[in-house]
Homo-oligomer: A and B are copies of this chain.
Amino acid sequence: MTSSVAQTPIARKISTNAVIRTVFANGSISRADIAKLTGLSKQTISDVVRDLEDDGWLKPVGQTDGRPGRNAITYEINARAGLAVSIDLGSTKIAAAICDLLGNVVAETKVSTDPRGGMHLVNQFSDLIVELASAAGTGADKLRLVVLGSPGVLDPATGHINVAPSIPGIDAINLRQVFSDRMGIPVIVENDVNLAAQGERWRGHGIETNNFAFVALGTGVGMGIIANGTLLRGARGAAGEIAYLPIGGDVFDPGGFTLGTFESAVGSVAMLRRYVGFGGRNASTVADLFAAFNAGETSAAAAIEETARLVAVAIAAIGAALDPELVITGGSIGARPELVNAIRGFLPRCTPYPPRIEISRFGNRAALMGGMGIAVERMHDDLFGVKLREV
């Protein structure tokens, strides 16, 4: 009788959520306008905004001016009220950034990966975060979340990395758990190519597309799939593992098991082997090969063309299975316009409805961007999400 505990938090949550979303969508806005846009009453908006301001989520930012009538106080999101970390773990480099509630990058850095792997990486991440937080003028205790992109196949339930050939010792520990315990905040681990797809979805070519695929071509190959607007992970987290596509070789050859038939046919090693096979002698790296191509060398052209042909067939297969509207390419090979143009040439000859092909908007920052996108989305959910009780 003294005081009821929490009777109907749901109605206020819904209102709060509506207010926050409106402010996110409209930037600096007055309470009167929020009321008009949400359809809620002025009174309710005033109450909700007061609470949000008291808790630091909104801040008054100015006044309307120049129109008849009393000036309104305008409010906007206090972006610094929520900060999160995105880390892209690569075999040679680690990129990391801190972003705020609006997705603004407030600090970013890049270092060499500790070659000892395993727990040493956790230490490295931890140091990196402290350093970034300091650069952002805040404490590590203000961070709410870490999103970590890593190569390898991840168990979607636990975030445990099952196969990560290029990072030593990382499949031996439960990276998500260990790292989360160390930092004291939630850690989300996601495949780096999946993150790249999310990055394009968030602020890249996929921003208006609910069905697309991000295809990474480099030393290895991989794919991130956005279908119905959300990321596809598959039953064991191995969706998009196109290394194993039965294209470019004999799938019944047991050699394809370990390396993957398609990866063996279009990875950088295969491309260079192909170049040598065609008589090329002036390239020991993929960059060299493309330089040779641009210098007019026919063996380089042949190597690129054959690779493009196989990639086009793979995209045709993906198109038949998933019907994407768009395929975004990235990675050291996939980001080369020379290759992509060749793919564009082959595609209409092997599939009746070729998807559009674009090169990643973010280059090698795509995964980092995706991590930030997920972090922002997750922060919004945690802070303002309306969760209905499951019965």
Contacts and interface: CB of A to CB of B under 8 A. Distances in A.
Interface of A: 8, 10-11, 14, 17-18, 21-22, 25, 37-39, 209-212, 223, 225, 227-228, 230, 232-247, 251-252, 256-257, 262, 313, 316-326, 349-353, 355, 386, 388-389, 391
B236 A38 contact: no
A234 B223 CA distance: 16
A244 B18 contact: no
Given A235-B325, A242-B320, A262-B320, 17 more contacts: A10-B14, A38-B389, A211-B235, A212-B235, A223-B321, A228-B230, A234-B324, A235-B323, A235-B324, A235-B326, A236-B323, A239-B321, A239-B323, A242-B321, A251-B350, A252-B350, A318-B321
Contacts of A349: 252
Query: How many copies of the chain does the oligomer comprise?
Result: 2
Contacts of A324: 234-235
B10 A350 contact: no
Nearest to A313: B246
A391 B38 contact: yes
Nearest to A247: B246
A245 B317 contact: yes
A241 B18 contact: no
Nearest to A21: B391
Contacts of A17: 388
Contacts of A388: 14, 17, 386
A209 B8 CA distance: 35
B321 A251 contact: no
Contacts of A323: 233-241
Contacts of A243: 320
A227 B25 CA distance: 30
14 contacts: A10-B10, A11-B11, A25-B391, A38-B389, A227-B227, A232-B322, A233-B323, A235-B355, A239-B322, A242-B320, A244-B320, A245-B317, A245-B321, A252-B350
B389 A244 contact: no
Given A235-B323, A246-B317, A391 B240 contact: no
Given A320-B245, A321-B240, A389 B251 contact: no
A230 to B, nearest CB: 7
Listed residue (A209, A240, A245, A257) with the most chain B CB atoms within 10 angstroms of its CB? A245
B353 A236 contact: yes
A6 to B, nearest CB: 12
